[in-house]
Structure 1
Amino acid sequence: MVCDAAGSGCPPEIGEEDVSLRRALEDLLKCMLRVWCKEGQALTTLGVPPPESDKRVIVKREPGGEFGFRIHGSKPVVVSVIEPDMPAESSGLEVGDIIISVNGRSVMDAVHSEVVRLAHSGTDILELEVVRTCNILAPQVPRSGSKDGPAEAPLCSGYLWRRSTTSTSSTSDKWVRRWFALRRDNCLYCYKTDADSQPVGAVMLLKYAVTPTPDVRPHSFVITKPGAPTLHLGADAEEAASRWATVIKEAVEKNNQGDTWLNASLRLQQMPPCTIQRPDCFGYLSKQQGAHTREFGSSWSRRYCVLKDAVLYFYDDANAERAFGIACVRGFSVHWGASGSAEGRKHAFELQPPDSTQKSHIFATESEMDKKRWIAALEYSIDRWIKIG
C-alpha cells in the first residue's frame, strides 16, 4: 500500500512566530532536491553514468496485496516508511528515497495524490526510479557503542534470524536477519540493521514464555504469550541462542514482578523533555480539553509534546522541568479528521481508543505539514508495538 504519511524523523518545533521562516526553509529544501534530481536526469540523458545514489528498483506485490511503503509530500514525493516483511523491503527501496518516475512516467512534478493513483493503477509491479538521500539529508545515529550513554546502552544486542510473518507453511519458511536490542526498559526492539536508529518493531516482555525449538531451526527458540503473535528467533550458534534465551527470561521475570515499563514512563515524566532519548516525534500541539458543546465552543490548550514508544508526554513548554501528564496510546487508531466538537478547527486529528471505556484525544497542529508529521509518527509508534511477531 502507498499512503499519505510523513517521515519518521521529526524536525524540531521552531515556534509560532517563525512559522513563515520554517515554511520558507522547507520550500528552499524542496527546490534544492528538485534541482538535484533534474541534474541527475539530464546527465543520464547525455550518457553520463548515474551516481551511486541513483537507483532503479522493482517492487512486485501479490495480486490484491500491498507494496509495503508510504510516501510523503508533493513535487517531489519521498518514501517515508518501509513496512517490514513486505515487497518493498526486499526490493531495495529505502526511507528518504525521492521517487522521480513510476513505470517510466516522470513524477517529479506530480502532486501526492497523482503518484498514489499511478501506483494503484492496477499493475502489481512498480518500476521506480529513485534518488537516494539516505545518510545525506538525515545521517543515521547508531544505537549502541560509545555514543550511547550508560542508561541507554542495551543489556544485550546482536543479529538474530527472525521467521517472517508472511510464512504460511513449513515448506515456505522465510527467515530474515535483523538486529535486536534488549534495553533496560525490559523491551525487545527489532531493527532492520545495526545502523538504524528507529526500530521496526518492539515487544514488551510481559508474561511471555521462551522455549527452544531445535526441530524448527538449529539454535532457534520461540517467544509466546496467549493472545499475542508468536515470535520465532534463531541465532548462528548455540552459545548465542542460550545467552539470548537467558536474558529474555530474566526480562520477563522482572516485568512479571512489576510493571517496569510503567515505572520507566513515570520516571521520564519527572524529567525535562530533552532527557527522552530518540523520541518518535516532538513539538507543540493544541489539545482539546474536557467536555464541549456547540453553544460554548471548545477549549484548547497549547502544549509541548514528546512521543516515545506510543506514549505522549505533555509539558507546559519546551523548557519545562517535568511533564504534567502522560497518555499511553498503544492500540489507539489515528484518524485524519476529528469529531464534531472539533469542527472549525484547522489541521485537527483524533486518537481513538480500542475500548469505548477509554477517552479519545483530539489534537490540532499549526499547519497541514505538521499534521502529517504527527500522524505518521503516531501511526509508526503505535504500529511497531503491534506488528513484530
Structure 2
Amino acid sequence: MQHPVSAPLRMTAANYADRIGFSQLTRQAFEGVDLHPLRDQLLARIAAGTALAGEGLDLSLITQLLGDKDQGLAIQSEVLSFHQLFRTPSAAPKPGLRVLALAADIDMGGNTPIDFLLEGSDIELLTLYVVKGVGLPENLPEHDVAIVVASDSEECREALASIEQAAPHWPRPLLNRPDRIGNLDRDKLHRLLAGVPGLDIPATIHATRAQLSDLSRGQIACRDIAGELRFPMIARPRGSHAGVGLAKLNDAAALAAYLAERDEQDFFVARFVDYVNRDGLYRKYRLAMVDGKPYACHMAIADRWDIWYLNAYMAFSEEKRAEEAIFMRDFDHAFAARHGRALKEMSRRVGLDYFIVDCAENQDGELLVFEADNTAVVHNMDSPAVFPYKPPQMRKIFAAFSAMLSRYARAGEGSAA
C-alpha cells in the first residue's frame, strides 16, 4: 500500500529478499570472472518458476554487466513491479547497524553504489526501490538510518519527489535529502558555486541544436547563448554520461562538424579551461566528500584534457602511480589544505552528506570543478600488487562513511528518546 504523504511513517519488521549485491557481482566482472554460468543458472530458475526476487535483481545486474543494458533494465522493472525491498548482508554475523538505501528504478550507474562503501563493515544494507505507481510503503522496514541513493537524472525525478514528500515524517535520520540532490545537476551546480573564493567552475549552459547550428553559421555569437561562452568550448549531449559525445570545439567549423555527427536536439556547452601543467600533462582528481570532509579517491595523469582513470593508463606507468601515491599520502596537508576553504564552502552549499567531486587545478592554482554527483563508484577493486597505496586509502573512506552513518544513527536514537 502506498504511503499517504501527510501521515507519520511507521516501521515494521522487514520483508526483504536477499541478493548477492552490486559490489560482489561488479568485482567479479572487474576481475574477469565469467558471469555467463551464473546468468544461465538464474535464467533456469526463472524458467522453472523457482527464482526468488533477489535472484531476479541479481540477474538484472549480471545482464547489464554483460553488456545488455535494455534487457537488464526490463528484468529489473519486472522484478520491482512485485517486490521492492532487498537485503545485502553485512560481513559481520550480527549487524551493528542497519541502513536503508532509497533507490530508483534506473540502470546500474544511476544509484549510489553504497555496497562498496560498506565492504567489510558490520552494517546491514537494505535497499528500497521507490517505483513509479508504487511509491513508498505505508510501513517502512526497521532501520537505524536512511540515505537517498537515487541520482539527479531525469529518470529518478519521480522517486525523489516521493521521498521528498515523505521526508518531514521520516522516523529515522535521512541523509542526502532529495531536494539537495538536484543541486548536482550540471546546469545548476555552477550557479550554486558561483563566487566561492578559490574555486573555478565554468557555467554549463543548455543550448538547443538550432542555437548551436546558428552559431556554427555565424548567425549568432557565443554571447547570444550565454555571456561567458566562447571558443574553445566543451559540448556534450544533454543527459549523456561517461564522456559520450563529449568534445572540445575550437571554432565554428568544429562545431558544424560536431553537429553533423550528432542526432541529439539538446546539448550542454561550457567554456574550455586549459588546465595543463607545466610538464605538458593534465591531472584530474576524484574526491569523496564524506560528512563535510574531503578524501582522495584517485588521481589520473595523462597528456589529454579529457581524462578518465582508465584512459590515463595509470596501471602501466610506475611514475604516474608514484605521483598518485604521494597525492594520497600527503592529501590532508597538501591538496586539501590548499583548497580547504573552497572545499568547505562547496560542501556547505551543496548540502549533501556524501557526494563525489571530479576536479583539477587551473593555471591560477584554483580548484577547478568539472562535476559533482552522488553515484560515482568509489571502490577497492584495483590490484594491491599494482596499487599498494590504494587499499589503505579506500578503507579510510569506507570507515569515514560508516562512522557518518553511525553518528547519525546515534543522534536519531537520542531524538527518538
Same fold (TM over 0.5): no
TM-score normalised by the chain length of structure 1:
0.30
TM-score normalised by the chain length of structure 2:
0.28
Larger relative contact order, structure 1 or 2 (CA cutoff 8 Å, min sep 6)? 2
